[in-house]
Amino acid sequence: MSEGSDALSTAVVGGSGFTGGELLRLLAGHPGFEIVQATSRSYDRKTVGSVHPNLRELDLRFTDPAELESVDVLFAATPHGVSMERIDEFFDAADTVVDLSADFRLNTAEAYEEWYDGHDAPEYLDRAVYALPELTREQLPGADLIASGGCNATATILGLKPLVDAGLLAADDRVVVDVKVGSSEGGAGGGAASSHPERSGVVRPYAPTGHRHEAEIETFLGLDVAFTAHAVDMVRGASATGHVFPEPVSKGDLWSAYREAYEEEPFVRLVAGGSGVYRYPEPKAVAGTNHAEVGFELDPGNGRVVTFSAIDNMMKGSAGQAVHAANVAFGFEETAGLEFGGLHPVGSP
Protein backbone atom coordinates (compact mmCIF):
# COMPACT_ATOMS: atom_id res chain seq x y z
CA MET A 1 0.00 0.00 0.00
CA SER A 2 1.32 3.39 -0.91
CA GLU A 3 2.01 5.61 2.06
CA GLY A 4 3.51 8.84 0.77
CA SER A 5 2.63 11.64 3.11
CA ASP A 6 0.99 13.41 0.19
CA ALA A 7 -1.10 10.44 -0.82
CA LEU A 8 -4.84 11.04 -0.75
CA SER A 9 -6.65 9.06 1.89
CA THR A 10 -9.17 6.77 0.26
CA ALA A 11 -12.13 4.57 1.11
CA VAL A 12 -13.70 1.88 -1.05
CA VAL A 13 -17.36 1.24 -0.28
CA GLY A 14 -18.27 -2.20 -1.61
CA GLY A 15 -14.73 -3.48 -1.27
CA SER A 16 -15.70 -7.13 -1.17
CA GLY A 17 -17.28 -7.03 -4.63
CA PHE A 18 -15.58 -7.61 -7.93
CA THR A 19 -15.01 -4.00 -8.95
CA GLY A 20 -14.35 -3.05 -5.34
CA GLY A 21 -11.59 -5.66 -5.18
CA GLU A 22 -10.14 -4.37 -8.40
CA LEU A 23 -10.15 -0.84 -7.02
CA LEU A 24 -8.32 -2.02 -3.91
CA ARG A 25 -5.72 -3.72 -6.08
CA LEU A 26 -5.18 -0.62 -8.18
CA LEU A 27 -5.19 1.84 -5.31
CA ALA A 28 -2.78 -0.29 -3.30
CA GLY A 29 -0.27 -0.01 -6.13
CA HIS A 30 -0.91 3.67 -6.80
CA PRO A 31 1.51 6.27 -5.42
CA GLY A 32 -1.19 8.92 -5.09
CA PHE A 33 -3.68 7.08 -2.90
CA GLU A 34 -3.59 5.50 0.49
CA ILE A 35 -6.37 3.09 1.35
CA VAL A 36 -7.79 3.67 4.78
CA GLN A 37 -11.09 1.82 4.55
CA ALA A 38 -12.72 -0.96 2.59
CA THR A 39 -16.28 -1.79 3.50
CA SER A 40 -18.32 -4.93 3.44
CA ARG A 41 -21.33 -5.91 5.44
CA SER A 42 -20.97 -9.65 4.79
CA TYR A 43 -17.23 -9.81 5.50
CA ASP A 44 -17.03 -7.19 8.22
CA ARG A 45 -13.76 -7.64 10.17
CA LYS A 46 -12.37 -10.25 7.80
CA THR A 47 -9.12 -9.65 5.99
CA VAL A 48 -9.40 -8.30 2.48
CA GLY A 49 -7.20 -11.20 1.41
CA SER A 50 -9.74 -13.76 2.55
CA VAL A 51 -12.03 -12.57 -0.24
CA HIS A 52 -9.50 -11.40 -2.83
CA PRO A 53 -6.64 -13.91 -2.76
CA ASN A 54 -4.42 -11.66 -4.86
CA LEU A 55 -4.50 -9.12 -2.02
CA ARG A 56 -3.33 -11.41 0.75
CA GLU A 57 -0.36 -9.14 1.38
CA LEU A 58 -2.63 -6.16 1.99
CA ASP A 59 -2.85 -5.50 5.72
CA LEU A 60 -6.47 -4.43 5.81
CA ARG A 61 -9.78 -5.70 7.16
CA PHE A 62 -13.25 -4.91 5.91
CA THR A 63 -15.38 -2.61 8.02
CA ASP A 64 -19.04 -1.73 8.12
CA PRO A 65 -20.22 0.71 5.44
CA ALA A 66 -22.43 2.34 8.03
CA GLU A 67 -19.33 3.82 9.67
CA LEU A 68 -17.50 5.78 7.03
CA GLU A 69 -14.09 7.23 7.79
CA SER A 70 -13.17 10.79 6.84
CA VAL A 71 -11.17 10.59 3.65
CA ASP A 72 -10.12 12.68 0.70
CA VAL A 73 -11.72 10.34 -1.83
CA LEU A 74 -14.45 7.77 -1.57
CA PHE A 75 -14.89 5.19 -4.32
CA ALA A 76 -18.31 3.54 -4.34
CA ALA A 77 -18.53 0.13 -5.98
CA THR A 78 -22.02 -0.77 -4.84
CA PRO A 79 -25.06 -2.07 -6.70
CA HIS A 80 -27.31 0.38 -8.52
CA GLY A 81 -29.33 2.46 -6.08
CA VAL A 82 -26.98 2.49 -3.10
CA SER A 83 -24.97 5.55 -4.04
CA MET A 84 -27.98 7.68 -4.88
CA GLU A 85 -29.43 6.83 -1.51
CA ARG A 86 -26.26 7.50 0.47
CA ILE A 87 -24.72 10.31 -1.55
CA ASP A 88 -25.12 12.89 1.22
CA GLU A 89 -23.36 10.63 3.69
CA PHE A 90 -20.64 9.98 1.14
CA PHE A 91 -20.01 13.70 0.83
CA ASP A 92 -20.04 14.10 4.60
CA ALA A 93 -17.17 11.62 4.72
CA ALA A 94 -15.25 12.59 1.60
CA ASP A 95 -14.40 15.61 -0.52
CA THR A 96 -14.58 13.66 -3.76
CA VAL A 97 -16.81 10.75 -4.67
CA VAL A 98 -16.06 8.42 -7.56
CA ASP A 99 -19.04 6.22 -8.24
CA LEU A 100 -18.81 3.07 -10.35
CA SER A 101 -22.52 2.41 -10.48
CA ALA A 102 -24.99 3.85 -12.95
CA ASP A 103 -26.46 6.16 -10.31
CA PHE A 104 -24.98 9.41 -11.60
CA ARG A 105 -24.24 8.65 -15.22
CA LEU A 106 -27.34 10.12 -16.85
CA ASN A 107 -28.07 13.83 -16.80
CA THR A 108 -31.70 14.10 -15.86
CA ALA A 109 -34.24 12.68 -13.50
CA GLU A 110 -36.40 11.95 -16.54
CA ALA A 111 -33.78 9.69 -18.00
CA TYR A 112 -33.75 7.74 -14.72
CA GLU A 113 -37.52 7.49 -14.89
CA GLU A 114 -37.32 6.12 -18.39
CA TRP A 115 -34.46 3.67 -18.09
CA TYR A 116 -34.25 2.87 -14.38
CA ASP A 117 -36.71 3.18 -11.51
CA GLY A 118 -36.34 6.89 -10.93
CA HIS A 119 -33.73 8.76 -8.89
CA ASP A 120 -33.41 9.56 -5.18
CA ALA A 121 -31.04 12.50 -5.41
CA PRO A 122 -31.61 14.22 -8.75
CA GLU A 123 -30.04 17.42 -7.42
CA TYR A 124 -26.64 15.79 -7.86
CA LEU A 125 -27.08 14.87 -11.51
CA ASP A 126 -25.86 18.19 -12.85
CA ARG A 127 -22.84 18.14 -10.62
CA ALA A 128 -21.73 14.68 -11.71
CA VAL A 129 -19.21 14.28 -14.52
CA TYR A 130 -19.54 11.20 -16.69
CA ALA A 131 -16.15 9.60 -16.83
CA LEU A 132 -15.02 8.09 -20.04
CA PRO A 133 -11.81 10.11 -20.26
CA GLU A 134 -11.45 9.68 -24.02
CA LEU A 135 -14.75 11.55 -24.25
CA THR A 136 -14.94 13.77 -21.22
CA ARG A 137 -11.34 14.40 -20.18
CA GLU A 138 -11.76 18.16 -20.12
CA GLN A 139 -14.56 18.10 -17.59
CA LEU A 140 -12.77 15.93 -15.08
CA PRO A 141 -10.14 18.19 -13.43
CA GLY A 142 -11.63 19.42 -10.21
CA ALA A 143 -14.82 17.39 -10.51
CA ASP A 144 -16.01 16.18 -7.11
CA LEU A 145 -18.65 13.68 -8.25
CA ILE A 146 -17.38 11.36 -10.92
CA ALA A 147 -19.68 8.79 -12.53
CA SER A 148 -17.51 6.15 -14.11
CA GLY A 149 -18.87 4.96 -17.47
CA GLY A 150 -20.49 1.53 -17.78
CA CYS A 151 -18.58 -1.41 -19.22
CA ASN A 152 -20.74 -2.20 -22.23
CA ALA A 153 -21.29 1.49 -22.89
CA THR A 154 -17.55 2.12 -22.81
CA ALA A 155 -16.84 -0.68 -25.25
CA THR A 156 -19.59 0.47 -27.56
CA ILE A 157 -18.77 4.17 -27.44
CA LEU A 158 -15.05 3.67 -28.03
CA GLY A 159 -15.72 1.60 -31.13
CA LEU A 160 -18.14 4.04 -32.74
CA LYS A 161 -16.91 7.45 -31.60
CA PRO A 162 -14.29 7.91 -34.34
CA LEU A 163 -16.99 7.44 -36.97
CA VAL A 164 -19.20 10.00 -35.28
CA ASP A 165 -16.34 12.48 -34.86
CA ALA A 166 -15.37 12.09 -38.50
CA GLY A 167 -18.90 12.78 -39.61
CA LEU A 168 -19.30 9.31 -41.04
CA LEU A 169 -22.28 8.45 -38.89
CA ALA A 170 -25.37 10.61 -38.56
CA ALA A 171 -27.63 10.60 -35.53
CA ASP A 172 -30.36 8.66 -37.29
CA ASP A 173 -28.19 6.08 -39.01
CA ARG A 174 -29.03 2.54 -38.20
CA VAL A 175 -26.44 1.03 -35.87
CA VAL A 176 -26.43 -2.50 -34.53
CA VAL A 177 -24.15 -3.37 -31.62
CA ASP A 178 -23.68 -6.96 -30.60
CA VAL A 179 -21.74 -7.33 -27.36
CA LYS A 180 -20.17 -10.42 -25.81
CA VAL A 181 -19.45 -10.31 -22.11
CA GLY A 182 -17.75 -12.33 -19.40
CA SER A 183 -19.21 -13.59 -16.16
CA SER A 184 -17.61 -11.01 -13.89
CA GLU A 185 -20.05 -8.46 -15.28
CA GLY A 186 -22.65 -10.03 -13.07
CA GLY A 187 -20.76 -9.19 -9.89
CA ALA A 188 -19.87 -11.44 -7.00
CA GLY A 189 -23.47 -12.11 -6.08
CA GLY A 190 -24.16 -14.96 -8.42
CA GLY A 191 -27.29 -17.07 -8.75
CA ALA A 192 -28.39 -20.17 -10.62
CA ALA A 193 -27.68 -18.71 -14.07
CA SER A 194 -24.16 -17.78 -13.08
CA SER A 195 -23.20 -21.09 -11.48
CA HIS A 196 -20.31 -22.81 -13.17
CA PRO A 197 -22.29 -25.75 -14.58
CA GLU A 198 -24.91 -23.45 -16.13
CA ARG A 199 -22.61 -20.62 -17.20
CA SER A 200 -19.72 -22.64 -18.69
CA GLY A 201 -19.44 -22.79 -22.44
CA VAL A 202 -22.45 -20.59 -23.07
CA VAL A 203 -23.40 -18.30 -25.86
CA ARG A 204 -26.45 -16.95 -24.11
CA PRO A 205 -28.53 -14.00 -25.24
CA TYR A 206 -29.02 -11.81 -22.22
CA ALA A 207 -30.57 -8.43 -22.28
CA PRO A 208 -31.44 -9.16 -25.92
CA THR A 209 -33.15 -5.81 -26.19
CA GLY A 210 -33.70 -2.76 -24.02
CA HIS A 211 -30.33 -2.88 -22.24
CA ARG A 212 -29.97 0.10 -19.93
CA HIS A 213 -26.61 1.02 -21.33
CA GLU A 214 -28.42 2.20 -24.46
CA ALA A 215 -29.25 5.31 -22.44
CA GLU A 216 -25.60 6.14 -21.78
CA ILE A 217 -24.63 5.44 -25.33
CA GLU A 218 -27.34 7.63 -26.72
CA THR A 219 -26.56 10.43 -24.29
CA PHE A 220 -22.83 10.53 -24.77
CA LEU A 221 -22.47 9.40 -28.35
CA GLY A 222 -25.57 11.04 -29.74
CA LEU A 223 -26.56 7.88 -31.60
CA ASP A 224 -29.43 5.47 -31.28
CA VAL A 225 -28.01 2.02 -31.00
CA ALA A 226 -29.82 -1.29 -31.40
CA PHE A 227 -27.99 -3.15 -28.68
CA THR A 228 -27.86 -6.85 -27.80
CA ALA A 229 -25.61 -8.61 -25.31
CA HIS A 230 -24.55 -12.25 -25.15
CA ALA A 231 -22.90 -13.99 -22.25
CA VAL A 232 -19.92 -16.06 -23.40
CA ASP A 233 -17.40 -18.23 -21.61
CA MET A 234 -14.83 -15.89 -20.16
CA VAL A 235 -14.58 -14.23 -16.78
CA ARG A 236 -13.18 -10.82 -17.69
CA GLY A 237 -13.91 -9.03 -20.91
CA ALA A 238 -16.41 -7.19 -23.00
CA SER A 239 -16.23 -7.11 -26.75
CA ALA A 240 -18.50 -4.86 -28.79
CA THR A 241 -19.03 -5.40 -32.50
CA GLY A 242 -20.75 -2.54 -34.27
CA HIS A 243 -22.40 -2.92 -37.65
CA VAL A 244 -22.88 0.44 -39.37
CA PHE A 245 -23.80 1.46 -42.89
CA PRO A 246 -22.21 4.82 -43.65
CA GLU A 247 -21.77 6.55 -46.98
CA PRO A 248 -19.08 4.79 -49.02
CA VAL A 249 -15.70 5.08 -47.33
CA SER A 250 -12.25 3.69 -47.98
CA LYS A 251 -10.02 1.88 -45.53
CA GLY A 252 -7.80 4.94 -45.61
CA ASP A 253 -10.69 7.11 -44.47
CA LEU A 254 -11.33 4.75 -41.62
CA TRP A 255 -7.71 4.65 -40.54
CA SER A 256 -7.65 8.44 -40.57
CA ALA A 257 -10.75 8.65 -38.45
CA TYR A 258 -9.52 6.14 -35.89
CA ARG A 259 -6.00 7.51 -35.70
CA GLU A 260 -7.31 11.02 -35.33
CA ALA A 261 -9.50 9.89 -32.48
CA TYR A 262 -6.99 7.82 -30.57
CA GLU A 263 -3.39 8.45 -31.48
CA GLU A 264 -2.79 10.53 -28.37
CA GLU A 265 -4.74 8.25 -26.09
CA PRO A 266 -2.64 6.32 -23.59
CA PHE A 267 -5.14 3.52 -23.22
CA VAL A 268 -6.50 2.94 -26.71
CA ARG A 269 -4.73 0.68 -29.16
CA LEU A 270 -5.75 0.35 -32.80
CA VAL A 271 -5.82 -3.19 -34.12
CA ALA A 272 -7.39 -3.62 -37.49
CA GLY A 273 -6.52 -6.49 -39.70
CA GLY A 274 -2.86 -7.29 -39.22
CA SER A 275 -1.27 -10.69 -39.41
CA GLY A 276 -0.84 -13.52 -36.95
CA VAL A 277 -3.36 -14.83 -34.51
CA TYR A 278 -4.49 -11.51 -32.99
CA ARG A 279 -5.72 -9.41 -35.94
CA TYR A 280 -8.67 -7.59 -34.47
CA PRO A 281 -9.48 -6.39 -30.99
CA GLU A 282 -10.10 -9.13 -28.49
CA PRO A 283 -10.59 -9.19 -24.74
CA LYS A 284 -7.79 -11.68 -24.09
CA ALA A 285 -5.26 -9.22 -25.40
CA VAL A 286 -6.26 -6.58 -22.83
CA ALA A 287 -7.19 -8.78 -19.90
CA GLY A 288 -6.03 -7.32 -16.63
CA THR A 289 -5.16 -3.99 -18.24
CA ASN A 290 -6.82 -0.63 -18.65
CA HIS A 291 -6.34 -0.80 -22.40
CA ALA A 292 -9.05 -0.79 -25.00
CA GLU A 293 -8.35 -2.36 -28.34
CA VAL A 294 -10.33 -0.72 -31.11
CA GLY A 295 -10.51 -1.62 -34.79
CA PHE A 296 -12.70 -2.02 -37.83
CA GLU A 297 -13.15 -3.83 -41.11
CA LEU A 298 -14.71 -2.70 -44.34
CA ASP A 299 -17.42 -4.77 -46.04
CA PRO A 300 -17.86 -3.17 -49.44
CA GLY A 301 -20.25 -5.87 -50.61
CA ASN A 302 -22.76 -4.86 -47.98
CA GLY A 303 -21.92 -1.17 -47.71
CA ARG A 304 -20.96 -1.88 -44.14
CA VAL A 305 -18.27 -0.98 -41.68
CA VAL A 306 -17.81 -3.43 -38.84
CA THR A 307 -16.26 -1.93 -35.72
CA PHE A 308 -14.62 -3.91 -32.96
CA SER A 309 -13.65 -2.93 -29.48
CA ALA A 310 -12.48 -5.01 -26.58
CA ILE A 311 -11.91 -4.13 -22.95
CA ASP A 312 -11.55 -5.79 -19.59
CA ASN A 313 -14.84 -4.96 -17.91
CA MET A 314 -13.15 -4.95 -14.49
CA MET A 315 -10.61 -2.39 -15.69
CA LYS A 316 -11.40 -0.09 -18.60
CA GLY A 317 -15.02 -1.03 -17.99
CA SER A 318 -15.08 -0.05 -14.31
CA ALA A 319 -12.26 0.12 -11.73
CA GLY A 320 -9.50 1.06 -14.17
CA GLN A 321 -11.64 3.70 -15.77
CA ALA A 322 -12.52 5.10 -12.35
CA VAL A 323 -8.86 5.34 -11.38
CA HIS A 324 -8.00 6.84 -14.76
CA ALA A 325 -10.69 9.45 -14.23
CA ALA A 326 -9.43 10.16 -10.72
CA ASN A 327 -5.91 10.53 -12.11
CA VAL A 328 -7.19 13.20 -14.47
CA ALA A 329 -9.33 14.81 -11.81
CA PHE A 330 -6.46 15.11 -9.33
CA GLY A 331 -3.77 15.94 -11.88
CA PHE A 332 -1.84 12.70 -11.48
CA GLU A 333 -0.05 11.04 -14.35
CA GLU A 334 -2.89 9.54 -16.42
CA THR A 335 -1.39 6.08 -16.37
CA ALA A 336 -0.47 6.09 -12.67
CA GLY A 337 -1.37 2.76 -11.12
CA LEU A 338 -2.56 1.45 -14.47
CA GLU A 339 0.70 0.36 -16.04
CA PHE A 340 0.12 -3.38 -16.20
CA GLY A 341 0.21 -4.39 -19.86
CA GLY A 342 -1.28 -7.86 -19.84
CA LEU A 343 -0.15 -11.40 -20.46
CA HIS A 344 0.47 -13.76 -23.33
CA PRO A 345 -0.52 -16.53 -23.55
CA VAL A 346 -3.52 -16.17 -21.35
CA GLY A 347 -6.67 -18.25 -21.22
CA SER A 348 -9.96 -16.92 -20.12
CA PRO A 349 -8.91 -14.42 -17.52
Ligand X SMILES: NC(=O)c1ccc[n+]([C@@H]2O[C@H](COP(=O)([O-])OP(=O)(O)OC[C@H]3O[C@@H](n4cnc5c(N)ncnc54)[C@H](OP(=O)(O)O)[C@@H]3O)[C@@H](O)[C@H]2O)c1
Q: Name the residues that contact ligand X, by CB under 6 A.
A: 13-20, 40-43, 65, 77-80, 82, 100-102, 150-151, 184-185, 187-189, 313-314, 317-318
Note whether 180 binds its own copies by CB under 8 A: yes
Residue 5 contact partner, candidates another protein, its own copies, ligand X, none, CB within 5 to 8 A by sort of partner: none
Residue 248 contact partner, candidates another protein, ligand X, its own copies, none, CB within 5 to 8 A by sort of partner: none
274 is in an annotated binding site: no
Element (H, E) at 72: strand 71-76
Q: Which of 151, 229, 285, 287 is catalytic?
A: 151
Query: In whole angstroms, what is the distance from residue 165 CA to residue 145 CA?
Result: 27
Query: In whole angstroms, what is the distance from residue 251 CA to residue 283 CA?
Result: 24
Note whether 108 binds another protein by CB under 8 A: no
Query: In whole angstroms, what is the distance from residue 84 CA to residue 152 CA?
Result: 21
Q: 255 phi and psi, to 5 degrees?
A: -55, -40
Beta strands 175-181; 33-38: pairing state:
unpaired
Angle, helices 213-221/151-165, rounded to nearest 10 degrees: 30
- Of these, 203, 252, 263, 264, which contacts its own copies (CB under 8 A)? 203
- Of these, 256, 265, 266, 297, which contacts another protein (CB under 8 A)? 256
Angle at 112 between CA 175 and CA 185, to 5 degrees: 65
State the minimum distance, in angstroms, from the CB of residue 271 to its own copies.
8
Element (H, E) at 310: strand 304-311
Closest to ligand X by CB, 184 vs 309, is 184
Residue 152 contact partner, candidates its own copies, another protein, ligand X, none, CB within 5 to 8 A by sort of partner: another protein
Residue 141 contact partner, candidates another protein, its own copies, ligand X, none, CB within 5 to 8 A by sort of partner: none
Catalytic-residue membership of 151: yes
Instruction: Collapse the DSSP code of 240 into the 3-class scheme (helix H, G, I; strand E, B; otherwise coil) and give the result.
Output: strand
Note whether 91 binds another protein by CB under 8 A: no
Note whether 213 binds another protein by CB under 8 A: yes
Sign of the alpha-carbon torsion through 268, 272, 275, 277: positive
Q: Which residues, listed in sequence order, are joined to residue 202 by a DSSP beta bridge?
A: none
- The answer to whether the peptide bond before residue 345 is cis (omega within 30 degrees of 0) is yes
Given a contact cutoff of 8 angstroms between Cβ atoms, the answer to whether 294 and 319 are in contact is no
Residue 17 contact partner, candidates another protein, ligand X, its own copies, none, CB within 5 to 8 A by sort of partner: ligand X
State the minimum distance, in angstroms, from the CB of residue 22 to its own copies.
8
Binding residues for NADP(+): 16-19, 313
The catalytic residue positions are: 151
Interface residues toward another protein, by CB under 8 A: 45-47, 49-50, 56, 59, 61, 79-80, 102, 117, 150-152, 185-187, 189, 206-207, 211-213, 229, 251-252, 255-256, 259, 270-276, 279
